[in-house]
A and B are shown apart, each in its own frame.
Chain A
Amino acid sequence: MISGESILYCLINAGIILLLSPLFLTIVKKVKARMQGRQGPPLFQMYYNIVKLLSKEVVYSKTSSWIMRTTPVVCMAVMILAALFVPVIFIPESFGGIGNIILFLYILAFGRFMISLAGLDAGSSFGGMGSSREMSLSAVIEPTIIVVAAALATVLGTLDIFEMISKTSVADIATMPTLLLISVSLFLILIIETSRIPVDNPETHLELTMVHEGMILEYSGRNLALMELSHAVKQAVYMGLLIGILVPFGIINAGSLLIPGIIIAAVLFLIKGSVLAVVIGLFESSMSKMRFFSIPTLFMIAFFFSALTIIIEVFA
């Protein structure tokens, strides 16, 4: 079942996402800075940060256990695994269950579970608050995400992300207009899952308002580097999914695998990802963070668009 082609897929797909994800995150920062009239960081800032953090010493809180020590590695592994589910260069044959959207969602949920547990592990009140908020939010967001996945499955007639993208890449978006509705949901899920404004403030210095930053507050050195990189990969994976559904052109089928094709697909992914990152930056700049208890209304919008899609698909 594991063929040479699937090994090649794993290397290329995970490699490209891993390589480009810090760039996308920095582009968002840059756009936000420009909107505020600031210069913003250089485009490669996050790469420099990661290199810097990797060479720094790691400090653990006295109360922490093995959870704190393993979480960064687990998170990184989870995100790389999740990256295999979303083809951005070419679409291989399904192998070993890779590609199932339900599995994909719960692999990400496992990562979130580990981060929340580790937030409690360090024993600081901010980590605890962050974890408690993350868990309250995920209790509301999980049903929403499942409905979004269900909507995708209804429209494209499959639970396999590989098959979904191979369908969208040959079909015209005009023949499946409901995909536009799902894309709205997917975009909101992308914002929510990557802890961005209006749900959470990724640049916060305010320990009392933090959700995601609160949980990773106690990390240092290479552990912090892994946590930040895995967060960037998570964002890139969701971006890849949205791109694959909405603008899949350029992603090649396994049958016509050639070096120039791979390069073109990679460049196209870079361009599409950058454009999406700019859109995220503009979206974030356009509003303030929501009150914590009104965040579920945002989930409701995502839920609404997906539920609407299912209704249209079933009854139309």
Chain B
Amino acid sequence: MVNSPDKGNIFDNTAVNYEKIVLPNPAGFKEKVISLKESGSVLLCLLCLEDPSSKDVFRLIYLFENFDYMQVSEIEYVTDGSAISVSELFPVASLYEREISDGFGVVFEGSYDRRRLFLHESYPDNFHPLRKSFLNGPIKTRDEIPEEDLYVFKRLEGKGVYEVAVGPVHAGIIEPGHFRFSVIGETIFNLETRFYYLHRGIEKLAEGKKPDECLKIAESVSGDEAASNSVCLCLAVERIAGIKPSLRAEALRGIALEMERICSLLSDCAGMLTDVGYPIGASPFMARKEECMRIIKRLFGHRFMRGYMRIGGVSHDIVSTELLVLESFIAGIEEKVKEAYNNAINSSTLIDRLATTGIIEPRFVRPLNLTGPVGRASGSRRDVRADYPYGIYKSFTPELFSSDAGDVLSRFMIKSEDIMASARFIKKIICEMPEGEINDINHEIPDGCAFAMVEGARGQNLTYLNVYNGTVWRYKVRTASFTNWLSIEHAVMNNIVPDFPVINKSLNLSYSGNDL
């Protein structure tokens, strides 16, 4: 072990017990995982990193959470290339395991799905880009793909079953993703998604860079989550270095995060209404989003708040007169969104389209680790801001809304409520704005590792950072989209094909945040 494990809790919640188990070998691992499964734990993340001291030795870190018993377990074991699959117990693990198999060449024994994930067929055999032995650079792709390496979709057969392939190129200007439907008539019987057309090697790109240089990389993980992903990286670095940002900086970060949430959710709400052919209901939401982005540009210097977050603080202060402008602006937003929401919710034809469409049952929340508005619309009461408060959320607790219906309508309602709650939250911060410095300029980042979690607009964004010899050894990002994408395959079941766009939009997940 090179890095000394963190003392105390990895996330800031003193009420939660934190245990770290380091196993020298995989023996005993399975028993521990089974007991975690039986107690109702959720797999938050599974990641792999190469050991800095010895080549081709990999450390697998599993992060489990059990909120019923207020327990977070970090389990780590070392392997030289083969590992034990937990995907039968934690279905979401399948994605992580395939990701690690691609990135590091670690084989998971007993997994039910060994297809490639982010490396599509055209990448050569035995190519594992996250190994340190691979130096970042262009690679030669294969033109001819052998039969056994072709990606196989699940196939449903029977009378009248046919497949509809959608994407990766879509009719609108959206990101690429492939959806394979098995359909009888109009009813969907199976959907399989395939992504990673946008894979940019974000994690590899960060390696060898100084932590503050990585902020730009974190900002580009997903365009409209720039603030949450960069705050997430800042939190990890600050935890490693023991930096504590000033209260004012944390308040400004809080405003930025909530503004970002408002923008993202406004466009979700507009999108849902557009996709059921109700543009007159959508346009007020869309107009508010543009207004928000303009004021963000004015206050933070960039429409997506890029470059605003700094390690130990923020890049610039916002003077009190500007904060007053924001306060009155945000009060207007709250009012106008309320009006638009009431207008929408009073349209019977709209309710008819949204209610009972695309139901995600609450039983999927834990196995798939569904978070954010998607999880809360399906009965979850979880929110990183309340469960593991960071920054400003230590002093102010946000309002949380939740519903058990799990349909598009409940997601629409929760997202709208979230917008108004975020607006009230911003007003509260501005009212009690702390004074003081905003940036802690001189900081030395020692070696170490840390997890950090932030609640983005789409849910729980998680970052793991490992600093070795002053530079980033491993940067792992897991956005909410990575796990929430799994829910769409369940949400569309027994719905009809024409309802897919609105179900997709009600989740509105990021492709780039997933593909990295």
Contact = CB atoms under 8 A, between A and B. Distances in A.
Contact of B349 (A32, A209, A287, A293): A287
A297 to B, nearest CB: 10
B498 A198 contact: no
Contacts of A208: 164, 166, 497-498, 500-501
A133 B498 CA distance: 10
Interface string A140-154: 000000000000000
A287 B166 contact: no
B278 A287 contact: yes
Nearest to B167: A207
Interface stretch (A35-43, A106-114, A221-229, A256-264): A35-43
A36 B343 CA distance: 13
A198 B347 CA distance: 13
Interface string A13-53: 00000000000000000001001111000000000000000
A155 interface: no
B171 interface: yes
A133 B165 CA distance: 17
A289 B276 CA distance: 6
Given A125-B165, A293-B496, A201 B172 contact: no
Contact of A294 (B347, B352, B497): B352
Contacts of A1: none
A206 interface: yes
Main secondary structure of the interface of A (DSSP, over half): loop
A288 B353 contact: yes
B503 to A, nearest CB: 10
B500 to A, nearest CB: 5
Contacts of A35: 280
Given A36-B279, A208-B166, A198 B496 contact: no
A95 to B, nearest CB: 42
Contacts of A205: 171-172
Contact of B278 (A207, A209, A288, A291): A288
A205 B281 CA distance: 17
Contacts of B166: 125, 207-208
Nearest to A202: B277
Interface in A272-311: 285-294
Interface residues of B, number: 30
A129 interface: yes
A151 B349 CA distance: 29
Contacts of A285: 279-280
B273 to A, nearest CB: 7
A290 B349 contact: yes
Q: Which among A38, A285, A288, A294 has the greatest number of chain B C-beta atoms within 10 A?
A: A288
Task: Give the dominant DSSP class at B's interface.
Answer: helix
A207 B352 CA distance: 22
A125 B350 CA distance: 28
B439 interface: no
Interface in B140-196: 164-166, 170-172, 186
B347 A206 contact: no
B171 A206 contact: yes
Contact of A288 (B170, B284, B347, B496): B347
B387 interface: no
B278 A289 contact: yes
A197 interface: yes
Nearest to B348: A287
A204 B352 CA distance: 20
Contacts of B349: 198, 287-288, 290
B497 A288 contact: no
Given A289-B353, A292-B498, A198 B287 contact: no
Contacts of B283: 36-38
Contacts of B164: 125, 129, 208
Interface string A116-135: 00000000010001000100
B500 A288 contact: no
14 contacts: A129-B497, A198-B349, A201-B277, A205-B172, A207-B170, A208-B166, A209-B501, A285-B280, A288-B276, A288-B281, A288-B347, A288-B350, A290-B352, A292-B499
8 tightest Cβ-Cβ pairs between the two chains A and B: A289-B277, A288-B278, A36-B283, A287-B349, A209-B498, A205-B172, A201-B277, A206-B501
